[in-house]
Structure formats: C-alpha cells, structure tokens
Amino acid sequence: MAAVTQIFFLLVALIYNIQADQIIKVGDPGRSFNFYPPKENNFCLISKFVGEDKFVLWNTSDPSTENSRVPEDLKQRLQVDTNRNNQTFYIINNLIQSDSGLYQEECWTEDNVTRETNFSFVVCGKMNGVKTVDTSLGGTSEITCDGAAENLTVQWLQDDQGSWRRVFKDNTTSLVNSLQETIQKVENTSTLRLSNIRNYKFYICLVMNQQQCVSSQYVLLNMRPETIIHSVEETAALQCPDDITDQPPDDITDQPPDDITDQPPVWRYDITDWMNFDQMKNIFSTKNRYVDQNNSLVFSSLMLNHSGVYSCGGDYRLKQYGLLVCPTYDPPAVELFSEGDEVTLRCNISWTESRKPEWFIKSKQTEGKFVSIDDMKRLTSRFNISDLNMSLIISNVSVEDTGEYWCVDVDRYIQCFSGSKTLVKFREPVVVSSPVHVMKSSLFSVLLVMLCVAVLAVILKTRRGEQPPADTVVEYENVPMQESSL
C-alpha cells in the first residue's frame, strides 16, 4: 500500500513539475508498452524509479536474468520478444495504474554511455477514445477534454515529433510556437483555443482526481487536404515533406524500431465508395505518373480523372492533397485595384442551383497555397460571396490580396467540371498635384525663364562694350608728324 501511495505521489510530481524538455509517454490500462533499445549498443539497462528506489527491469546483455527486487506484480508481466526484423524488444503487458512513474534507458558501447533517456510514463484509469477536430490553414479551433469536471484538473499534452510534451511548461495561459501558432487556455474550462493553425497534430488531455489519473482523451487536429488546382495537360508535382514517414509516431504505447521509421514514405490514392477498383487501377497505371527522387508524386500531363485526394506517409503522420484537374479554361481576367478599393470578381463559368461553384485564393497571405474563400471568411469579414451571381466581393483591398482567384465548379467527389481564373494586381498610385502646388510650380518656371533672359542680355551687352564697331578703321601710318615749337 505504501508503494502505491509513493507511485501516486510521484505521478502528481510528474504531471505538475515536469521540466520543459521532459518526454512523456501515455499508456492505456490492459494494453502493453514496448521498449526498443538501439541495436548498435553492446547492452542497455531499462529501469524504473519508485520513490528513491531504482529497479532494473532488463539487462539486455542477459534478458533471462531476473531481478528479485522488482515488485512481483510487475515481474510477472515482463516479456522479451523479437520482431520481424530480428530486433529484440521488451514489453510490459497488461498495464495498470501502478506502472506509472519515471523510467530510464541507459545504453553502453564498450565502456562509454551512448544513450541515456529519461521519460515519464502515465497509465490512466480510462481511455475516452480518439476524436477528430477538422480545421484549415490559418484557422481557429477549440478542443475540449471529455470527462473533465469541476472537481477534476486537466493537463494537456501535445505530440512533438513522436513524443508527448506538456503544452504549457508553467502557468502561462498562452504561448506561440515556432510556426507562429497560438495556444490559449479558455478561462475556467478544460478547453484549448488554437489560432493560426499551420499543421495537423495530436493532443491528449489527462483528467486528474487529486493524485490519480482518471481518464485520458486523444484529439487529432486534422488539417483538411491542401488544394491544388490545374487544367488538363498541365504538369503537377505533389511534394512529400521531408519529415513524413510511412509509420506512426511513437504511438500511444509503442516506439517503432529505428530501421522501420527510416523507410521511404508511400503515396496513396484515397478510395471512396464512388470509385471502383478498376478506376483506381487505371489512374495508377497511367504512364505519365511517377514518384521522383525527392518522393514527389509527378504528373507530366494531367487528365480529368486524376482529380482526387492523395496522401503521402502513414496513418498518423501524413500529408494530404486535394487535386482538382479542370477542363482547359479561358485566359485569366485581370483586375487592377488601388489600396482601399472594393473589388468584385466575376465567376465566369456555368453553374446550377444544385451545384454552386467554390472560390479559392492563391496569394501572398496564403503563402502561395490555394485556400478556400470559406476558410478565409472565418479569418476576416472583407471577403463575401454574392448569393445572386456567385461573384466574390473584396472590400478594403490591400497589397496582400494580390494573387490568383479561382472560381471552380466541383462536386462532392472532387471532380472539376469547369473553372475560371482572375489575376488581381495592384495599381501603382498616381501622384495628383493640388491647384496651389501647380500655380507655384508655374510661377517658379516663369521667373526662371525671365532670369535666364536677363542674364543672357547682360552677357551680350558686356561683349559689345569691349569691342569697337565693325565699320571703324584707325590708320596710324599716314598721320603727319608735327614739328615741335621749341
């Protein structure tokens, strides 16, 4: 009983006093937790702390050796196994809440410690499942924690490249990460408000009743597929981010072997009920589709049936694209604007009441990506779509609004029937002088001309005074010399 009390006390310290760089792992009761020591080390010690005691669970150089100091209820649930890559891993089966605590992995190569990992492990009484919150680039969403109540406290964690870390390292009510996303606590609730969302991510909340973790709730902040719009016969390249793999992150309870996570990502075409296997096979057997050396999916000459949702990666870490391939459209219209104008963009395609077109923007403010105007309307009230003719009205236009605007007739199966594009360009301002300024400029010009004339007259007059007239001749040789009277 004393040992259990120590564990719960340690769990409280874990939840509320974790350092900024502390790794956290979460397990579900009844499931298992796996350790994957690196193969290149000579041996590793996998240990657990209980209070001031440190119990070595496994010495990988001799997994058969049993440590008599390990509590009996834990010792009976320890297991060693080998995966399909012939890598040995170590398992705690049938997790219970007393398995919570601090764990350590120490690995040696010859006489040198090459790895020392400390992490906190939490096993809650109940797992409330995984819920998905759909969002969009730059959007705002609120995520709530199921199971939270007034007499319970909540701790939020977020996935950090495969490991769980605290969202807030102290009592701060908001923070901004490196992607400029903002996370705020909604006062007096268990809710998080996320603003300027840039990427999908897993979150988890731990519901605590004093020293005991009562339940956990997993939340996937799901980014809708990034839209790419092209016309037939154009070239398209869907890029797969460098940090995407075909394996999930460190998962809820497991860490995949290192040699599996290094495998290249896999491209998939999302299958829906409307598409049969023959259609899918036809798309992927197209000769002009290939994956290049950078793992990008390249279409050298697009066709209408290439429209669809493509994903790169695995089930947890992936990048999705919604590719719209439209019939050849007319040359884009050009709309010029000045700062503060109101601009109306026409939707130059045919459409019906049952299938209205959608507007997309690709500009500086969307970082060169296609973003639905519906998503932009959630960020600003300057964008409005006319119900009468589906025109896009932009008020108080700024330089950031420069870019491409697409009106696309697309159905729920991501099939494009027509599209039109408008280029919105900034008109350089024309400097208009005031009447007073014009009068002053004219008067100055007249005075300048008068001054030039006066200077020229003075110069001419001066030159005439220095020289005798042209018809005057003075002869000195024929003048007779007079005699002196002296």
* 151-203 confidence digits (pLDDT tens): 788 889 988 766 788 888 776 777 777 667 788 888 778 888 888 776 778 89
Flag whether the pTM goes above 0.75.
no
What is the token pair recorded at 86?
Answer: 């012939």
Fold identical between 2-123 and 130-223? yes
* Three-class SS state of 451: helix
The answer on pLDDT for 258 being more than 70 is no
Give kind and range of the element (H or E) at residue 374. helix 373-379
> Are the CB atoms for 336 and 425 separated by under 8 Å?
yes
Average pLDDT value for residue range 102-118? 89
Taking the C-alpha atoms of residue 172 and residue 174, their distance in angstroms, rounded to an integer, is: 6
**465 alpha carbon, distance to own chain's centre:** 85
Q: Which CATH class is domain 130-223?
A: mainly beta
Average pLDDT value for residue range 361-366? 87
- Which range of 56-65, 89-98, 193-202, 356-365 scores highest in mean pLDDT? It is 89-98
Which residues, 6+ apart, have CB-to-CB distance to 223 below 8 Å? 135, 136, 137, 197, 199, 200, 320
Q: In what order do the strands lie in the sheet with 416-426?
A: 267-269, 308-313, 318-326, 226-231, 370-372, 358-363, 403-410, 416-426, 333-337
> Are the CB atoms for 37 and 59 separated by under 8 Å?
no
CA angle 96, 99, 100 (to 5 degrees): 110
Average pLDDT value for residue range 135-162? 81
Taking the C-alpha atoms of residue 353 and residue 147, their distance in angstroms, rounded to an integer, is: 43
- Which range of 147-156, 250-259, 366-375, 394-403 scores highest in mean pLDDT? It is 394-403
Which residues, 6+ apart, have CB-to-CB distance to 346 below 8 Å? 333, 389, 391, 422
- Closest by CA position to 103, among listed 50, 141, 177: 50
- The residue count of the chain comes to 486
- Architecture of the domain defined by 2-123: Sandwich (2.60)
The answer on pLDDT for 325 being more than 90 is yes
pLDDT of residue 256: 44
Least confident range of 13-22, 112-121, 436-445: 13-22
The answer on pLDDT for 464 being more than 80 is no
Which residues is 76 bridged to in the sheet?
none
- Which range of 95-99, 169-173, 475-479 scores highest in mean pLDDT? It is 95-99
Residue 240 gets which letter from DSSP?
A: P
pLDDT of residue 47: 93
- Which range of 276-290, 392-406, 431-445 scores highest in mean pLDDT? It is 392-406
In angstroms, the first-to-last Cα distance of the chain is 160
- Architecture of the domain defined by 228-326: Sandwich (2.60)
Average pLDDT value for residue range 325-335? 90
| 346-355 pLDDT, tens digit each | 998 887 777 7
- Which range of 32-36, 187-191, 361-365, 453-457 scores highest in mean pLDDT? It is 32-36
Average pLDDT value for residue range 57-85? 84
| 299-311 pLDDT, tens digit each | 999 999 888 888 8
DSSP percent split of the chain into helix, strand, coil, nearest 5: 15, 40, 45
Kindly indicate whether the domain formed by 333-426 is annotated with CATH number 2.60.40.10.
yes
The answer on pLDDT for 456 being more than 60 is yes
pLDDT of residue 433: 54
| Residue 470 phi, psi dihedral angles, 5° rounding | -70, -25
- Closest by CA position to 25, among listed 38, 39, 36: 36
Query: Of 283 and 376, which is predicted with more confidence?
Result: 376
Give kind and range of the element (H or E) at residue 5. helix 2-16
pLDDT of residue 431: 55
pLDDT category of residue 20 using cuts at 50, 70 and 90: very low
Q: Which sequence spans correspond to the domains of the chain?
A: 2-123, 130-223, 228-326, 333-426
CB atoms within 10 A of CB 315: 9
